[in-house]
Structures are given as structure tokens and as C-alpha cells.
Structure 1
Amino acid sequence: MTSQSSVLVDFSSFRNVIDGNLRSSKILSQGINPSNKGKLWDVPVATAEDLDDAVKAAQQSFRSWSRVPWESRQKLISNLRDLLLQYQQELANILMLEGGKPIQFAALEVEHAANFLNFYATQEPLDEEIQDDEVLHMTLKFIPMGVVGAITPWNFPLVLSIAKVGAALVTGNCIIVKPSPFTPYTVLKFAEIAQHVLPAGVIQALHGDEKTGPLMTEHPGIAKISFTGSSSTGKLIMAAASKTLKSITLEMGGNSASIICPDVDIESVAKQVAIGSFFNSGQFCMASKRIYVHKDIYLQFLKAITAVVQSWKVGPASEQDVMLGPVQNDMQYKIVKSFFQDTIDNGYKFAIEGGPEGEDSYVIQPAIVDNPPDHSKIVAEETFGPIVPLLSWSSEEEVIARVNDTSSGLGGTVWSTDLQRAQRLGNQIEAGTIWINSSEKPLPQGYFSGHKESGVGGEWGRHGLYAYCNTQCMHIYK
């Protein structure tokens, strides 16, 4: 560890971080800039031996790190937050290039990541006293599990990784982060920066290929897997982790809905709902991917939200004043295109036609589909891109049934000036997080979990710290 003032970081080269050292590999890959399809920096692909070395280093460090007092770990996390913010602009620039995020939203992601570190640096220890009388003193201790494997996605690579890192570290675990192969750069650089604050082996990061995730989930030296990504991959992780009975936390996809009641301020709410649906070009697991508008205001709301979306500048992330950048990768680009094609093939009506912009980037102009049927692909499946259906509803019973007619249950929003009505509707949505009169704004202090196929367990918030702990109930008879 070094003093923060002496930290020098090279933002033009990237290595895996293993046992406090930067390590390359015989095999290199390159990420793709989705704004122009150009190749980014070389990045080494970790081997099975690299993973073994990382696990051994984490196990060795765990022996001492788990004994560091809670308050001392928090101080180091605070130092890490400060160092992260020292390099906010550099990390934001990398996020812009690898993630296709307009620079203002890339900088916001770094800020939100720092907010997670700040939250974990201010939480009290978890241990509880259950009984203390003349006969028995009973306590419930929450003890770290050991080595945590974090498998993180490409849509918000930095903040979703750091949310896991902060929770694991403050509870006394060591962590190995495997970022998405589409977006390895900011996570690797963060882990490199962290070596100047934390002991070797406490946080490590490996850029891998299709073999690395399965190796992590089956590795006997990893006690817990925390995963954020698709439901299909989450099911594979759950099956693989069962071989060693690992603890798992799975945060997976969603097909969340917004319910718009007829008493809202249409112009104001349309602006906020548009942000909630199209933020990060729709590549946001909690985004409102279905918008249900009461029939009495449907046409007015359609006109208002259409005007909002059409006012945005859409294009390469590096251009000034861009609101929506490209879809992040070719795989997702093709998935989103299939929703456009299905909408066209079935003759559904576009309020905004949108669609792919050209072959030189993964930019897709946003689209709104006007009242397609509930069985349509655009309604029934998660798009994870800038195309959203607007749907009409009449009764509360009807709209709740339609909103809940999905295998996912991650989030939802309700908009009404009648808070009792909004809460009544929100209470009936089968999802882990509900926002009333707000677009989707996840916060570090809010426990985050999914219902149905959107998740197993949960994290974030004080309650989320328990996901990184084993328990020990101590009975002391006097």
C-alpha cells in the first residue's frame, strides 16, 4: 500500500490483478467501442491457473483481513472511495469508450460507485445480543464467508462491481471480480487502483472468457458467488454452484412496468417515465420496459412522451449533448433488432419508428410502439434496448393482472397524485423494488432483490450485508 498522493496510474494499459500484482497472459483480447465498432486496448485473458492463484491469494489474505476490526476496514473503504473519485474523469472516459455511455452518465456511474463505498463505510457492525441475564449470555455473530466470486455485467460494469466489492470487504471477505468480457477495462483499473489502499489479495480482478465464469462457480476455494446478469446465465450458475453448495446471490433480468394513473401531471410525468424507460439506451435491468397508461389520458400521454423522446440527441457517446448512446455490443444489438423486426412483421403501430442507424456503430434510434397486444414479443419479453411499448388500461384489477403476467419480478413504478391509490397498486406488483412517483432510481441504502426468475436472495442496503456472512450463535452460560 502507498500514500494516495503518490499513486500513479496508467490508463492506457490493462492487466489482470492477482495477489497485488499486475499479470498479463499469452492470450489477449480487445473490447469494442460500440460508438464506432473500433477495437479498444489489449487485455489479457485469465487462465485456469490465474484463477487458482487468485483464490490461493484470497484465502491467504482472508486469514488476516477477516481479523481487521470493522472500523479499520471502513477507514480503508473510505480511502478507496476518495481514490476512486480522484480518478473520476479518467474512469468515466473509459466507461464512455467501452460502454457507449455519454460522458455525463459515465461520470455519474463513477459517482454512484463512490456512493456505495461511502454507504458501506458508514454502517455499524451486524452482531446482535439476543439474551443477557443471570443464567445466559447469547449473541448472534455475523462472520465473513471467505472468498467471494463476483460475476458482473456489461451495462453498468463499475457501479455493479463496486456494490459487491464494498459489501464483501466491510464484512471481512476477500473478493475476486470477473467483469463482463464486453467491458473489462474500468473494473480492472479500479482493482489496480485499489492495490494502493488494500492489502494484496483482498480484491483481485480477472478478465476471462466463456470458461472463466464456470470455473469460478465450481471452484472449491470460493465460498460465495454474487452474480448480476441474465436469468439464463443465473440458472446455470445456480446449478454449477450446487456442486459445492456455495452461497449464491443472483440478480437477474426484469420486464418491469410503469402504471400511469389518470390524475397525473402528464407533461411532468412523461419526462420522468421516458428517462426511466430509455436510460442507458434501455440497457437497465430495472427500466420500465412496459408503460401502462390509463385510457382516459392515453392519447395525451402518448403525445407528450413522444415529444420528449424525439427531443433527445442520439448518437455516438463521444458527441456533445448526446442523451442516448449506442447499444453496448453486437449480441445485444441483434437482440434489439429482432424486436423491431417482429413489430414490423406483425404490423404493430410505431408512435416513433426508430431503429438501427447504420453499420458503423451500434446506435439504435429509440422507438415507442403504440398499444401492441399483450402477447406480442415487445410486451412479453425483456427488450434491454431503446424500444418500449405504451399500453392502455381501464381498471386496477385488470392492469395489475397484466403487469404481473410475467416470469420476472425485479421492479415497477406507479404514478398518481393519490398516494393511497399508488401504494395500493404498488403493493400488488410482484416485484422486489417499487417506486412511487419516481422513475427507477436505485440507491445504496435500498435492499435490492428480485421475485420469480429475477433473483435469488438480494444485496445492497444494510440488509444486503447479511448475504456476505455466515452466522454463529454463541451460548455462554454463567
Structure 2
Amino acid sequence: MKEYSLMINGQKTAPQGGFFDVLNPATEAVVALCPQASVEQLDEAVSAAQACYESWQHSSDAERKKLLHDIADRIEANAAELAQIIVEEQGKPLFLAQMEVGGAVAWTRATAELEMPVDILEDSDTKRVEVHRKPLGVVGSITPWNWPLMIAVWHIMPAIRSGNTVVSKPSGLTPLNTIRLVEIINEVAPPGLVNVVTGETGIGSGMTKHPGIRKIVFTGSTPTGQTIMRGAADNLKRLTLELGGNDAGIVLPDTDPAKAAEGIFQTAFLNMGQTCAALKRLYVHDSIYEELCEKLADVAAKQVMGNGLDEGVTFGPVQNRAQLNLVNELVEDARANGARIICGGSLVDGAGYFYPPTLVADVTDGCRLVDEEQFGPVLPIIRYTDIEDAIKRANATDVGLGGSVWSSDIAKATQIAGRLECGTAWINGHAELLPYAPFGGCKMSGFGVEFGQEGLMEYTSAQVLNINK
């Protein structure tokens, strides 16, 4: 059985806390053994990052760009291995894992090309005022289990592009890909620039409270984000928190169900629904409700569920037992309250955490499946007759990550999308993230943004140079 190592100061490091199992969600077999770092090893990683920061903060723009392109080259060179690891520990089908690796490469290159300009506020005969962006120091990255490579890249690359150093802590459910990524980064990066410590006991909380870490970037649940925020208060860490969502989509009556069904299904069930910005509540006008339900069921029926490494599989397992149980609980609650299960809706016998793509009709607000984020392969479909009511119900939640409007009338859809209380609103699409477009939530979905120029600035502080000539 393969044993992975920590990566501290450019060196593979044996854990002081032993190892724990990482399971394949399609088979429940052990994939590999993950190191359990001690709190003392977290301190070592932070110290290594601090030491590297002393020089890296003064690196040139050209050096930083080149390093990110070199990292992208190394990811490309190891693409097949990385995709294999993703499937084995996360469960998504191989084609989707390959897309994740390709996205990681593209995102790294796009981040490399971002600029950090100096803003000139005044340049007169007597005075010049400039705004410079300076790195913060050591950045702590805490990532979830749904997109283990991509989200690590989203955190790490802008941090080092802006002159910071990193200590990464991936989810204990999917740590292997991130460990391998950091090993690859250390083939071309200076020692201590990017470190990885893993473990489910005391490491995450130790990072949030650590006086040597100046910023935490976290993707995950709202309750965990709240805990991180409390822990970060003692030394006023900067925070970027991309937290839970319960994204609503509104389908207007002029929509063609046959044309919209595929896009709606794929953005709701992306990664088996285990995507923060997936479409999670669908409000459909009464005039096309039954037809759209039928067309969505047709798309669901085409999915081939199984081990992501098997040929032809399009639909993998839920990543872990706890999430599988939650999905099943929400569907059973809806069923008990009179919902109509169009397709799916039951656990699959045998090994693995499999749950079929499930469409649930005749539900409404107040049902747990509508009110709570399912984060799995289930879509509740809610009927409406009045658009004002649909907008109100879409906004009647304490989270606001994304939302969408589906219509053949772009102008009308755009006007409605502008009224949704969310960080990103899509027209005739959902869950599409772009490396140049800021992404983040409002309300209890967190604060701060990732991606693009605005996302890069989240890793810096402003220094004003006030020059009297």
C-alpha cells in the first residue's frame, strides 16, 4: 500500500502522527495511506514558508510569471497520473477528471499572465502619489473534497503569483492529489514556497489560529467558514471564504424545454451535484413544467453510473458515506411529504456510495430538499405561475453564491438575473467559472472573490507612496 508524505521546505517528510486510510468511493477499498501531521510539523511548515517569503516577496514579476508557467508544464507532464488519482479518491468519471487537470493547467497559465500594476493617483509638479500592491506573507489554503486539484490550484497560484508563500491543507477525504500537486510544484519552486500538511486532527484549526499565517483562503461549508473566521480573529488574518450555496435557477415560460434540458441537467448534476455553484433549486413556469420534467428525465436516463475508471461511465458515486446519507435523507423527507420522484430516488445495493441522478417534482419551499443544500445528485423542481413570486422565493435564503435565468428573451432574462441576490448570475447557463471573471458569494455564502485581477488583489495589501517632489 502506497504511503504518501508531507512536503515541508521542499522535502518529503514522514508524519509524526502516523497514517490514515483514503478510500475509493466507488469501491470503498483503500487507495493509499495519507500522513497525519502533528501540530509541531504544521509549525515547521509555517516556518519554512516564512523563511522562503523573506526572499520570494522581492522576486520580480518576470520570475513569478515564469514559475507559474513552469508549474503548468509540470502539471501537463503528469496529467495522466493526476487524473487517475482524482478518480480513485474523489470518484468522478475519468473524462471529468481529465477536464479538471486541463482546467488546472489553463488556470495556472491565466494566473501567470495577470498583472499587478502601480496606480498613479497624482503626478503634479509638486507631488506624486502611487498605490502599490504588496504580498501579505504566509497564506494558509484549506480545500474541500469535491474538486481536489482545481481548487488547490485556485488557492495556490494567485498566492505565489502575488509574492506570498503557502501552507496547504487538503480535505482528509481527498488529500492525495493535492499532495502530488505540491510535490510537482517543488520540482521547480524554491524550497518552502509551497508546503502541504495533511490530517484531520488539529491541523485546520491550528492553521486558522497560527500567528505566522497572514491569510486563510477556504472553500467549504458555511459552519466551517464561521469557525475559521472566529479562529482568525486573534491576529486579524485576511480571509477569502467561498462557502455553501443553494443556487436557484428560474425557467421562464418562453423557454424551449427540449433545448434547455441538457444544459440544466449538466449544470445541476456537474460532478454528481457536488459543486458549490451547481444549480440546486429549479423554478419552472407552470406552462412548461411537465414537459421540462419529462425532458430532464430523458437526459437522466442516458447516464451510465459506475466506477469512474470503467469505460463509458458518465456518472460516478457520491464522494463519502456521510454525504450519501444526507442525500438519501433529504429525498426520503421529500417523498414522505408528497413529492413525486420522477427518476432515481433510492440507494444502490453493493459496494460504493452510489446514488442515481434523481429528479424530484411537486415540491416547494419549506421542504428540506428545497431549503437545504443537498450537494449531491438530486434536483428539486418547483412550479411557479408568477415571476415576482419566483424571484422572491429564489432570494428567500440566507446564502447567495450563484443563480440563473433560462429564457429565449435575453433582455428580459438579464433584467430578472440582476434582481437575484447572488455573487454570479448566469443567463441560459449555470456553474460556469472563468479565470478572468471574479467569483464569490454574498450573504452567508462568504466574502472576498477569487479569479481575475480582483481575485489576485485579495492576496495583497495596498501601500500608498506619497512623494513630495
Q: Residues 178-216 of structure 1: CA distance to partner in whole angstroms, max 9, x if unpaired?
A: 000000000000100111110000011111113111000
Moved more, 163-172 or 348-357: 348-357
Distance 2:110 2:15 in 1: 36
Q: Which residue number in structure 2 is paired with residue 206 of structure 1?
A: 197
Report the Cα distance in structure 1 between the residues aligned to 2:118 and 2:350, rounded to whole angstroms: 56
Q: Percent identity?
A: 36
Aligned partner of 1:22 in structure 2 is 12
What are the equivalent positions in structure 2 for 1:226-265 lying under 5 Å apart?
226-265=217-256
Q: What is the letter of the counterpart of residue 361 of structure 2? A: D
1:360 to partner: Cα distance: 1.0
Paired position in structure 2 for 1:403? 394
2:11 maps to amino acid: N
1:78-477 equivalent positions in 2, closer than 5 A: 78-477=69-468
The 8 Å contact of residues 275 and 439 in structure 1, kept in 2 or not, is answered as: no
Counterpart amino acid of residue 14 in structure 2: S
Aligned 8 A contact 2:6 2:196 in 1: yes
How big is the shift at 1:353?
3.4
When structure 1 is superposed on structure 2, of 88-97 and 327-336 the one drifting more is 327-336
Cα distance in 2 for partners of 1:413, 1:106 equals 25
Provide the alpha-carbon RMSD of the alignment.
1.2
Return 5+ residue gaps in structure 2 as ranges: none
Q: Once the 2 structures are TM-superposed, how far is the Cα of residue 241 of structure 1 from its aligned partner?
A: 0.4
Shift of 1:373: 2.3
Residue 128 of structure 1, CA deviation: 1.1
TM-superposition CA deviations, 1:314-350 (whole Å, max 9, x none): 1222221111100001121111121122122223111
CA deviations over 1:416-465 (Å, ceiling 9, x no partner): 11111111110000000111112321111110110110012121111111
Supply the AA of the counterpart residue of 2:334: T
Deviation at 1:92, TM superposition (A): 0.2
CA deviations 1:370-391 (Å, max 9, x no partner) are 1202100010000001111111
Distance 2:23 2:42 in 1: 25
Query: How much has 1:13 moved relative to structure 2?
Result: 4.5
SS, match of residue 235 in structure 2: coil
SS at match of 1:186: helix
Q: Tell me the TM-score normalized by structure 2.
A: 0.98
* 3-state DSSP of counterpart to 2:192: coil
Query: Could you tell me how far 1:262 is from its partner in structure 2?
Result: 1.6
Quote the Cα distance in structure 1 between the aligned partners of 2:397 and 2:297.
26
3-state SS, counterpart of residue 22 of structure 1: strand
* Inter-partner Cα distance in structure 1 for 2:285 and 2:335: 25
CA positional deviation for 1:368: 0.7
What residue identity is the alignment partner of 1:35? Answer: A
Aligned partner letter, 2:223: S
Check conservation: 1:339, 1:378, Cα contact below 8 A: yes
Question: Could you say what secondary structure the match of 1:279 adopts?
Answer: coil
Q: If the length of structure 1 is used for normalisation, what is the TM-score?
A: 0.96
The count of corresponding residues between Structure 1 and Structure 2 is: 468
- Residues 403 and 424 in structure 2, CA contact (< 8 A), matched pair in contact too: yes
- Paired with 1:433 and 1:347, the residues of 2 have a C-alpha distance of 33
Residue 12 of structure 1, CA deviation = 5.0
In structure 2, C-alpha distance between the alignment counterparts of 1:203 and 1:134, rounded to whole Å: 45
Query: Contact between 1:276 and 1:288, CA under 8 Å: does it hold in 2?
Result: yes
Q: Distance in 1 between matches of 2:237 and 2:313?
A: 43
Q: Which runs of 5+ in 1 are unaligned?
A: 1-10
Which amino acid is the alignment partner of residue 439 of structure 1? H
**Contact conserved, 2:114 with 2:452, CA < 8 A, in 1?**
no
Would the aligned equivalents of 2:300 and 2:357 in 1 still touch at CA under 8 Å? yes
